[in-house]
Amino acid sequence: MLEGVKHVLLVLSGKGGVGKSTISTQLALALKESGFRVGLLDVDLCGPSVPYLLNLEGKDVHQSSDGWVPVFADKEQKLAVMSIGFLLKNQNDSIVWRGPKKNWNG
Asked whether 65 and 38 are in contact (CB, 8 A), the reply is no
pLDDT tens string 6-40: 999 999 988 888 999 999 999 999 999 999 999 99
Q: Which of 17-26, 63-72, 89-98 has the highest mean pLDDT?
A: 17-26
Domain boundaries, the chain: 39-91
What is the DSSP annotation of 45-57? SS---HHHHTT-T
pTM (2 d.p.): 0.81
